[in-house]
Structure 1
Amino acid sequence: MEIKLNVPSIVCSGCGDTITKAIKTVESEANVNVDVAAKTVTVEAQSSEESIKQAITATGHTVA
């Protein structure tokens, strides 16, 4: 299942790396694509959208 989330707090590729690592702790096989310019995170994963959002917010980022 593909989930596309708007994460307005992304400002650099370091943010993307942090978010990617957090999502991979929830699901190691997840395919994560962070677009810094568009401030979006696209995740191809089996986990629920809620668990992905929780992983992102646990890093201090906000999900719109």
Structure 2
Amino acid sequence: MTLEFTVPNLACSACVDTVTKAIQAIDTTAQIKADPTTKQVEVTTGASESVIKQAIVDAGYTVA
């Protein structure tokens, strides 16, 4: 399934790397597209939305 999140404090490529690694720690096969300009993160994963959202939060980011 494809999930979309708005991450207001996603500011740069380092932030994208951090969020990507946090999600891949949960689902190694997840496909992640993150854009610091639009603050959007799109995740194609088999994991639940709540698990992915928590991974982003645990990495230090806010999910709107």
TM tier, smaller: over 0.9
Aligned match of 1:16: 16
TM-score by length of 2: 0.98
Segments of 5+ residues of structure 2 without an aligned counterpart are none
* CA distance, structure 2, for counterparts of residue 52 and residue 13 of structure 1: 19
Number of residue pairs aligned between Structure 1 and Structure 2: 64
What is the RMSD computed on CA atoms of the aligned residues? 0.4
Q: Post-superposition, which runs of at least 4 consecutive aligned residues in structure 1 deviate over 6 A?
A: none
Structure 1 unaligned blocks of 5 or more: none
User: Identity over the aligned pairs, expressed in percent?
Assistant: 44
Alignment partner of 1:27 is 2:30: no
